[in-house]
Chain A
């Protein structure tokens, strides 16, 4: 009896199926391991190997006494992956909303919207959302509370945030970092090369839960944190002048105002402030107009403060002596064959000595000195005092001012330039011009950065005082100092700047503003630039108030000089400046005969 045929085929069928299955598996393995090998290996490696950038921490900015002005701190950007949101966590959402400071309805909307409609790279127009921001930056303590809620899908990324503890203090020259972490202005931008540091990176592997497997770190470069910057500015001095600006703003409602304090022998700026200012931590909430450092970016006609240039020039060239007298009642003089009309004084002044021209701020006297000096020398002295060129203030935003070369002068310039018209300067230029007199005739470069130092406090880059040029001799500077002390004394234009026991030397400026193409009688720039103690100057202070609202002319002696005194008195105490005693009177004040002058 023969076996049925089906029984004899069964093993063959089973064997064939098994062989086919093996062939299929082997084919798939061949496809994955040989044909698609490169692509799949890349995916596997991408999931396993991770490349992480370790961001360097930006260096801090300190004042000259080690007070922190700008620093980087760690904050967390908190968000949610809506695909991972677990419905059982909903009772924790109110607590989360409170921590991220978001209305609960808005939070719910962000947690539940899983798809996004539209998008340029998506032709279908629908894509799954994997990240929705809940908070831009929350401190670490709050982030720990968020994590303690253990809400599935909610996590955060660490990042650095720049903070400015002083808020609006020194805002105009510290500058700020924008949301993209780019330095925009001020020291932040000027010193960015040193502050920014060098990011590090690390190549490592991670497990299935995306946690780093530290034992498989293959390459690692540590980040190098940024260096720190120490400024010449003193936070207390800065606060004193900003407080004074607030008082000026309250009393006179000016359009703007600037105050600068510096050490004349080094050029180190101890304080520089403008009104209006802005909060560095919320810079985006203020109009961009407020971001401007007006002390270096705004131009004004310096007015009588410029008289120090023409007086210095005339003394330096030995054209006049301190006792030389001028007839300041003249309204016109003959100059090189033509009649030159002199600028007006606010009251008839009669005959004045050189010292009285300074102390009473006679325009006609100064104009006659300008005629004596001549255009070429007047221009050269203006250049020597730093007008018409940037001072070299590092943090930027500085303009060079306007000082036309002699061949572009009109007929009036020779009589108007000596009284500070037909020229435009920044408050910092005027400040450093006065510093020339305080520093025995030497023009210094302004310094606002003292040094760059590392984490251990070791100096990496020092910034030393830098003298730019000798503008006038020490003798001329001393003579002019004696004259300037009379301006800040009874009988001068700024008796309110006088400080008992400290010889104050200074010069007022009251400039008419140009409104609708004409010099206005109602709109002025009031200024006072001075230094003390006159015998051994320690500080130069400049106060410039743009368009103060007051009854009558806004004289520099009435608006700016009291502010100078308030600041100076506080700085005497804070910086422990010793009194110098009354300054000795000089023959400059004695007077002599009127001389026949040839222009």
Chain B
């Protein structure tokens, strides 16, 4: 169904963004893939790579299988110091795409707290999203996280 930018839709997108952020911040990442369509593209890249047209991302998941694998790997395979995020997100700027989806650009800052209390600003970035409606719910068909800096501090294991 084609989405129209109405105050009601804006409210629903606000809810989507909050639910998405709290899903990660509250370590409920098993539900993270549910925010996406089955054929979605999720990418973390940098402003510099985007400007240079470099196609490879830092983290990339194409389709539901790869989205779920990221979570399985971080739960079962990858080894890292326990930490959690706190996402702070701005009001999204919305525009209608011709194909019935909505494009959203949103600023975000992610603070990272390590298990021993060390705390820092981990990421300053923008979300570059395509949002669609599937079965009455809003989903990301595309969510690209574009980091302002080329540098990733220590490692990136939880999605942003």
A pairs with B? no
